[in-house]
């Protein structure tokens, strides 16, 4: 097994086992979505109208949850030092950790999203566009989040700072993700344009995220 595959498998194992955050993320996602109808009232047309936005916001918040432990737990038990000393390029290691994070927190959300969408009165086309936009957009959230996780790695209360750093950077993803997801709900709104921009954002974050996060880790651990 190559070092990168080993790190991917290790991170996924840690996330799934006791003490990992994988299933808590989905639970958080479902709880947040369930809270919204209590706040705005059980008005089904309104919930249908704002449903994609609610699901996107909940996914954004849920993907933040496990991020603050992504590097800091490795830092505490010393494995981050081993990773930094290993011959595998740090950027690719960070990429592998990001993929593992997305597979354990992003992907379960996407599986749960259609079920939760039913509660928000979304019909089949709306569910489909929502799932497609989440599938394309949530990796961007993870890889932008990596930067914040790496910057906050050695901090005592990094979680709060992480949210403050990461959330402004995720604004474009949220805008175009919700715009594309709304296409099936709000009638003749275009789907293609926001969706292609969302794809571009994900691809750009795939490049920028690991490089910036790796640079931050090198600087922090000097």
- Positions touching another protein (CB under 8 A) are 147, 150-151, 154-155, 157, 161, 164-165, 167-169, 171-172, 175, 208, 212, 215-216, 219-220, 222
Q: Which is nearer to another protein, 112 or 216 (CB)?
A: 216
CB of 177 to another protein, least distance (A): 15
Of residues 153, 152, 118, 111, the one with CA closest to residue 134 = 111
DSSP 150: H
**C-alpha–C-alpha distance, residues 82 and 167, integer Å:** 30
CB of 147 to another protein, least distance (A): 6
Q: Which is nearer to another protein, 121 or 154 (CB)?
A: 154
Q: Which is nearer to another protein, 20 or 145 (CB)?
A: 145
Q: Which is nearer to another protein, 24 or 204 (CB)?
A: 204
What's the burial of 171, exposed, middle or buried (CB within 10 Å: 0-12/13-18/19+)?
Answer: exposed
220: number of Cβ within 10 Å = 16
Q: What is the CA radius of gyration of the chain?
A: 18
Hey, what are 200's tokens? 């571009």
**C-alpha–C-alpha distance, residues 181 and 125, integer Å:** 10
For 154, the 3-state DSSP assignment is coil
CB of 120 to another protein, least distance (A): 22
Q: Which is nearer to another protein, 25 or 194 (CB)?
A: 194
CB of 151 to another protein, least distance (A): 5
CB of 150 to another protein, least distance (A): 8
Q: Which is nearer to another protein, 103 or 169 (CB)?
A: 169
Buried b (16+ CB within 10 A) or exposed e, 184-219: bbeeeeebeebbebbbebbeebbeebbebbbbbbee
CB of 154 to another protein, least distance (A): 8
Strand segments, DSSP code E, in 63-128 are none
């Amino acid at each position: 097994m190559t070092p990168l595959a080993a790190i991917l498998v290790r991170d996924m194992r840690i996330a799934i086992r006791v003490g990992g955050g994988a299933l808590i993320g989905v639970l958080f996602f479902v709880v947040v979505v369930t809270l919204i109808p209590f706040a705005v009232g059980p008005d089904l047309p309104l919930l249908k109208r704002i449903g994609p936005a609610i699901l996107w916001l909940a996914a954004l918040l849920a993907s933040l949850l496990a991020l603050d432990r992504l590097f800091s737990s490795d830092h505490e038990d010393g494995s981050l030092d081993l990773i930094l000393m290993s011959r595998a390029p740090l950027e690719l290691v960070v990429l592998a950790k990001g993929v593992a994070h997305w597979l354990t927190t992003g992907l379960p959300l996407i599986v749960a999203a259609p079920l939760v969408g039913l509660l928000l009165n979304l019909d089949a086309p709306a569910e489909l566009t929502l799932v497609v936009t989440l599938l394309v957009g949530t990796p961007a959230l993870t890889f932008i989040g990596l930067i914040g996780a790496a910057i906050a790695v050695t901090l005592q209360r990094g979680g709060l700072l992480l949210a403050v750093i990461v959330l402004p950077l995720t604004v474009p993803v949220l805008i175009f993700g919700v715009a594309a997801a709304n296409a099936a709900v709000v009638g003749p709104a275009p789907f293609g344009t926001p969706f292609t921009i969302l794809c571009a954002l994900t691809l750009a974050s795939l490049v920028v995220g690991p490089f910036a996060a790796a640079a931050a880790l090198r600087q922090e651990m000097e």
